[in-house]
Structure 1
Amino acid sequence: MDSSDTDRAVSILRRTPLLAACRDSARSRRELSEQTGVSRTTVYRATVALEDRGLLEKTKEGYRTTSQGTALLSASETYETAVETIDRLDPLFDLVSHPTLLEHAHLFADATVVVADPSNPYRVVGHVMERFEATATSRGTLVNPTAVEAIERAMPELASKDHIERIFTASALEAHETVGGEGFDEVTESDSLSVLVADDDAVPFSFAIDDDDVSIVGHDPATGLPTVHVESGRPAARAWLEALYERCKAAATPVA
């Protein structure tokens, strides 16, 4: 896309409020000015430009969005949603920037984002534990070492679970064994837990598929604490992570 194409796209995006105002019924220029808060002069120029591009049509009742204009408006609304989603997921992208996540970030438009801060560094840990307590089954991956505190908090809950399955990257498993010591050994010996291990490059990031929703976690590399938690109940987000999990599992082997 050259500069002229970019300028054209930006010009149309700026005028989408006028297209939206004319989508359901015809509007006069006076009505468009009142509804959008744009001056009459600006409305005049915009309606002329949008009509020239076939996005608005003039009728006896006023200006109405054409089929092409409606299609472009829908696309622009999708773009605006994508921008809002990316802004909301920015804390996660600071910690997790794998291409497959960036490609599918739009699936988390409705996601709940929980972020730890200096005044409450364990905020995400508490949130994760609340979710863990509320689920009977869970599948997921771990690519980062988890803080000992998080392991200790999870231990009492394992006995009440139907089945928990986790795929560790080789480096994450080694780190957990080193940092967690006997406490981690006790966790892996639980009857309700299945642990698998895969090469580091076979697992892109840490995520979980629970009873009702799915989540992606970003860990502080210095402390191992989960500091960003993104969760969604959207079927499309679940379907994507389920397919990704199966690919990770196919590359993993059970830990004896």
Structure 2
Amino acid sequence: MSATALEYLAASSVRPDVLAVLREHGLLSLRDLDDHVSASRRTVKRTLSAMESRGWVRKVDGGYELTALGETLLSAYERFRERSRVASRLRPVLEHVPASMFDFDIEALTDATVVAPDDDPAAFADRMVALRADANRIREYAPFLTLDSVRQLAQHVENGRPSPDTTIIVRTDAPPQSSPEYRERFRTPVEAPGVDIRHHPDGPMLGFGIVDGRAFLGAAADDGMPCFLLESEGSALVSWVDRQFENCLAAAEPLSVERS
């Protein structure tokens, strides 16, 4: 879609509305168009004249109809608006994802949700704990695990709960703001036979994973601590996360008890 066409349609809501009404109703007179568009007849007439000169509409038997060119450009404009809306809503996460990694259509994330800190700085960690709580299969890459996550994994092992099929890859086992408790609790899942924790020091600085078929993608704040979480069960994000995880898994090494 040319910049000129995009700029023209975006400059006034009347313009895409006129095209959309013609697409829905077919051939319409100026009077009928005026009844369907929230604008003065003078504005509608001026808009039709400009669009006729562009080849988007044409006069037929005293009325106006949409041309194939007008339909094509309207569809492209609507898709741009929808993609922009999705991208704006998911900006807190997507602005941290390198373009080289993001190889699927943004429209696939239309139904994705974002967990943001807002009034609860712990929202990210709380949601991750909730996702893992009753999971049967966990495949997760993280620059590091939060203390809440380490506590959860350790408690599962200590309570003798049946271990899910769990594979976790970390970029570092010594995250920012780590504590003696963190180091001690971290050893428990590392030593557990049902949890496979691996180390990939050159992994990306964003987290992602799949928990029972639900994919997530996490972003960090300026201090390096996780803050935003994007979730979706859509096949596009699930497939994307699975590819990224397999790439990290191929480069990761088992994390030894001595190292942890």
2:231 aligned with 1:231: yes
C-alpha spacing 1:178/1:121, structure 2 compared with 1 (3 Å): closer
Per-residue Cα deviation, 1:77-105 (whole angstroms, up to 9, x for no partner): 221111111211122246x2422456647
Match of 1:185 in 2: 187
Letter in 2 for 1:24: E
Contact 1:124 1:227 (C-alpha < 8 Å) held by counterparts? yes
- Structure 1: distance between partners of 2:237 and 2:124: 21
C-alpha spacing 1:191/1:21, structure 2 compared with 1 (3 Å): farther
Which runs of structure 2 are paired with 1:212-223 in the superposition (5 Å)? 212-222=213-223
- Structure 1: distance between partners of 2:21 and 2:156: 53
- Per the normalisation by structure 1, the TM-score is 0.83
2:151 aligned with 1:152: yes
Match of 2:39 in 1: 38
Per-residue Cα deviation, 1:10-32 (whole angstroms, up to 9, x for no partner): 10344222211111222333333
Match of 2:199 in 1: 197
Q: Select 1:164's aligned residue among 160, 163, 166.
A: 166
Q: What's the secondary structure of 1:22's corresponding residue?
A: helix
1:112 Cα deviation (Å)?
0.8
Gaps in structure 2 of 5+ consecutive residues: none
C-alpha spacing 1:61/1:192, structure 2 compared with 1 (3 Å): farther
Q: Where is the helix percentage greater, Structure 1 or Structure 2?
A: 1
Which shifted more, 145-154 or 72-81? 145-154
Match of 1:56 in 2: 57
Letter in 2 for 1:165: T
1:181 Cα deviation (Å)?
0.6
Letter in 2 for 1:153: Q
Letter in 2 for 1:22: L
Identity of aligned residues (%): 23
Q: Which has the larger radius of gyration?
A: 2
- Structure 2: distance between partners of 1:11 and 1:112: 32
C-alpha spacing 1:155/1:220, structure 2 compared with 1 (3 Å): farther
- Structure 2: distance between partners of 1:30 and 1:138: 61
Contact 1:29 1:44 (C-alpha < 8 Å) held by counterparts? yes
1:230 Cα deviation (Å)?
0.7
1:186 Cα deviation (Å)?
0.7
Which runs of structure 2 are paired with 1:1-256 in the superposition (5 Å)? 6-13=3-10, 14=12, 15-26=15-26, 27-60=28-61, 62-93=63-94, 96-100=96-100, 104=104, 106=106, 107-117=108-118, 119-143=119-143, 145-157=144-156, 159-169=161-171, 172-175=172-175, 179=179, 180-200=182-202, 202-203=203-204, 205-222=206-223, 224=225, 226-256=226-256
- Structure 2: distance between partners of 1:240 and 1:61: 52
1:185 Cα deviation (Å)?
0.9
Gaps in structure 1 of 5+ consecutive residues: none
1:173 Cα deviation (Å)?
2.5
Which shifted more, 146-155 or 18-27? 146-155
Letter in 1 for 2:174: E
Pairwise CA RMSD of aligned residues?
A: 2.7
C-alpha spacing 1:44/1:248, structure 2 compared with 1 (3 Å): same
C-alpha spacing 1:221/1:186, structure 2 compared with 1 (3 Å): farther
- Structure 1: distance between partners of 2:163 and 2:57: 58
